[in-house]
Amino acid sequence: MKFDASKKRNQRTVRYITIAGFLLGLLYPLCAGSMDSPIALINGISIGILGGVLVALFELYFLGPMKLRSSFISTVLVKSTSYFFLFIFLILVLMNFNEAWYYGVGMYENFKSARFQTFLYDGDFKVIVLYSLLSVSAIIFTREISRKMGQGVFLNFLTGKYHFPCEEERIFMFLDQKSSTQLAEEMGSLGYYTFLKEFYSDVTQCILGVSGEIYRYVGDQVVISWSVKKGLKNANCIRCYFYIKNEIERQKEKYLVKYSHIPEFGASIHLGKVIRGEVGDVKSQIVFHGEALYETAHMEKECRKQGFDILVSNQLLELVSLPVIYQTKHVARIPVLNNGKNINLYTIEESGPNPV
């Protein structure tokens, strides 16, 4: 329930990788020119689809998480050996299975047949294994790029959706470390960097779990955004803060041992109209421009100055239906830069378990 959005995301990953596998499997027989009998096509497609599903599952559950722990070389080695054996196994089994079915013989018989043995030792077997491995690396690399570019950004580059800027209403949350200057001095830049990296890595799951999009990191600040629909649903944008808080609370021992400091952070949440579009010919970025961002930054300054944990603007509070365990408290009113509009700021507290 909590990480509903994460599950959907994983399903999407499996779907995309499987489709890629299917296409690559289809491409091989086309390229290799073995179109005389349908068996080549059947082999290619079945290996592509099954391989795709397996690669997706491996990446999501076994080999993907290892990236966090080990070095580049060992990740590459482990991945390439496991996929090497996986695909040798897959190709042998599937081709045998398909051909046995197609020619109407037993699987062992087919394996022992002269045709299959020639294919294995003198034929295209090694080329197919090589092709599969190259395809897997292309898939992993593309996925990595698309992750690094941010959610939906890669897809946008393919479709060019934001070549033409458009106006939309979005919810923004600025999440930043408290007393960052002091921490940076105490830990040194490398120490503070590792600390933040760990923090962001813990936080990312919470953000994805409530459908948040990470817009950018600026030093020790993360900017998260939601479409109004996704942010308001389930009060996702408010819950995001509390999920993060609970997650850090749960892991505080780790932080205390490693860094002798628990991350403390403040969040400012606001909503407003922004323009979303792509800038830069080189190193293109999808950016938001608009007053809503200035206003949130303004709120964040206030949040920092007064040391609040969470600040929410009245514009957002009017729309969100807050779960009963959260209580709001009006704390300040800040003028907005130029048009004489005011923003009322509220802080939110989680009430303890009520005595029945």
Q: Which residues bind another protein (CB under 8 A)?
A: 27, 30-33, 68, 71-73, 76, 127, 141, 144-145, 147-151, 153, 157-160, 163, 165, 167, 181, 184, 189-190, 192-194, 196-197, 200-201, 204, 208, 214-219, 222, 275, 277-285, 287, 289-290, 293-294, 337-338
- Tokens in use for 340? 């004489």
Whole-angstrom distance, CA of residue 3 vs CA of residue 211: 9
Name the minimum Å distance from CB 94 to another protein. Answer: 23
Name the minimum Å distance from CB 150 to another protein. Answer: 4
Q: How far is CA 171 from CA 6, 69, 149, 322, 334, in A?
A: 19, 34, 20, 15, 19
* Nearest residue (CB) to another protein, 96 versus 156: 156
Name the minimum Å distance from CB 246 to another protein. Answer: 20
Name the minimum Å distance from CB 278 to another protein. Answer: 8
Name the minimum Å distance from CB 89 to another protein. Answer: 24
Nearest one of 103, 128, 127 to 114, comparing CA atoms: 103
Name the minimum Å distance from CB 208 to another protein. Answer: 8
How many CA atoms are closer than 13 Å to the CA of 237, on its beta-carbon side?
Answer: 31
* Nearest residue (CB) to another protein, 278 versus 300: 278
Name the minimum Å distance from CB 204 to another protein. Answer: 5
* Nearest residue (CB) to another protein, 95 versus 196: 196
Name the minimum Å distance from CB 9 to another protein. Answer: 10
Q: How far is CA 292 from CA 35, 210, 265, 270, in A?
A: 58, 21, 21, 7
**Parallel, antiparallel or unpaired: strands 310-313 and 265-279:** parallel
Nearest one of 309, 210, 223 to 265, comparing CA atoms: 309
Residue type, 103: Y
* Nearest residue (CB) to another protein, 294 versus 326: 294
Whole-angstrom distance, CA of residue 262 vs CA of residue 202: 13
Please give the distance of CA 79 from its chain centroid, rounded to a whole number. Answer: 20
Nearest one of 77, 19, 83 to 55, comparing CA atoms: 83
Using an 8 Å Cβ cutoff, are 133 and 83 in contact? yes
* Nearest residue (CB) to another protein, 260 versus 338: 338
* Nearest residue (CB) to another protein, 8 versus 330: 8
Using an 8 Å Cβ cutoff, are 210 and 239 in contact? yes
* Nearest residue (CB) to another protein, 34 versus 113: 34
How many CA atoms are closer than 13 Å to the CA of 348, on its beta-carbon side?
Answer: 26
* Nearest residue (CB) to another protein, 68 versus 93: 68
Whole-angstrom distance, CA of residue 343 vs CA of residue 331: 11
